[in-house]
Amino acid sequence: MPVFLLRYVKFRAFSPQVFHVKQAFLRNRILALPSEVPLAQSTRSIPIIDYEGSSYKTDFWEGQGREFEDLTERHAVRRLLPSSGNVLVEVGAGFGRLADLYDRFERIVLVDYSTSLLAEARDRFGDDPRYQFVAANVYHLPFVANLADVVVMIRVAHHLEAIDVALAEIHRVLGGGRTFIMEFANKRNAKAIARYLLRKQSWNPFDAEPYEFVPLNFDFHPGWMREQLEQAGFRIEAELAISHFRIPAIKHRVSPALLARIDNAIAGPGAVFKFSPSILTKNISTKPHTPAVGFFQCPKCGNQGLEAKETGYFCPRCEETWRVQDGIADFRFPRPGS
């Protein structure tokens, strides 16, 4: 496997406090993974961040002053979710922060690359038979085509170097005419524009290309992201601009609940201008509807004929075994450390 060399980018536009928080998470392993197009034959490498063993829940969310961000994201996801459905897949579900929003769906699949974060989600939701916990790589999802009625991906896109490859894989898994809800970090936000015009940052927020402010952390131009979604086979049905008040001076003086309600009220109109740091899009797959056949497929070779065993799933085509341990199905490909 090729070695991914971590690049440290010098910049002036990013808050030092936030920079140190980000760098703490980047101490986790960074892996180089080949693209899935074609599935197991590509020579292209795509680096990802592995949060295995991290204390993300307590280091980034609980007690860290991000109650407003959590609440406003909940408001936005709830607004964009369909009223009901069979299978919902959340990609990058982590410890299950948003998983309680999905109770209107019959089968809820929480996907993350980190088994330790999934274990936290399992401890919270494992007694509910509707929930499944799957360790997988977004570039190699272990699901048959057209399986999901809804795919949700929040706070994940900013870690994706090959967003086009990830969107293509999500489009494959999503049923025709079904819903994909995605959040991405907005490069052209008000703070970045102001700093650029005041010559306090060198990078141009109006430039279409993604901006990597620290390794594997990207901000995206809304127009560029729209092009990526359309090229992947999605039509944007709705947009919400959120987290307008992600400013410590405001967050420390106004209750998170009130700020989130105000943010939610302006999220729709704000999407016209897109000056907020985060954008959520509700995207509809434009492919024809075709019923899914099966559920899991081999992430290595694409075989849909997996055989259920006591310890997991066996693929008779490539002879790989995908283990299920402590309620978590491990379909990570390539395997960690391979």
Reading the chain (338 residues) residue by residue, the pLDDT tens digits are 332 223 222 222 333 333 333 444 444 445 655 444 444 444 247 998 899 999 999 999 999 999 999 999 999 999 999 999 999 999 999 999 999 999 999 999 999 999 999 999 999 999 999 999 999 999 999 999 999 999 999 999 999 999 999 999 999 999 999 999 999 999 999 999 999 999 999 999 999 999 999 999 999 999 999 999 999 999 999 999 999 999 999 999 999 999 999 999 999 999 999 999 999 999 999 999 999 999 999 999 999 999 999 999 999 999 999 999 999 999 999 888 76
- Only one residue has tokens 């978590």, namely 328
- Only one residue has tokens 């049905």, namely 237
In a domain, 45, yes or no: yes
Is the separation of the CB atoms in 215 and 240 below 8 Å?
no
In a domain, 323, yes or no: no
In a domain, 253, yes or no: yes
Q: Indicate yes or no: pTM above 0.85.
A: yes
Torsion of Cα atoms, 140 then 142 then 144 then 149, to 10°: -90
Please, which residues have CB within 8 angstroms of residue 243's CB and are 6 or more apart in sequence?
A: 68, 69, 72, 73, 263, 276, 277, 278
Is the separation of the CB atoms in 181 and 155 below 8 Å?
no
192 token code pair: 């970045």
Burial of 219 (0-12, 13-18, 19+ CB in 10 A): buried
In a domain, 254, yes or no: yes
**What are the start-end ranges of the H helices in 115-245?**
115-125, 163-173, 190-197, 222-232
Count of structural domains, the chain: 1
In a domain, 195, yes or no: yes
SS3 label, residue 265: helix
Cα separation, 227 vs 139, whole angstroms: 19
- Only one residue has tokens 């400013």, namely 247
State which amino acid sits at residue 150.
Answer: V
In a domain, 277, yes or no: yes
Which CATH number goes with the domain that contains 173? 3.40.50.150
Is the separation of the CB atoms in 297 and 143 below 8 Å?
yes
Burial of 191 (0-12, 13-18, 19+ CB in 10 A): middle
In a domain, 11, yes or no: no
Whole domain around residue 215: which residue ranges?
16-286
In a domain, 8, yes or no: no
User: Looking at residue 90, what DSSP letter applies?
Assistant: E
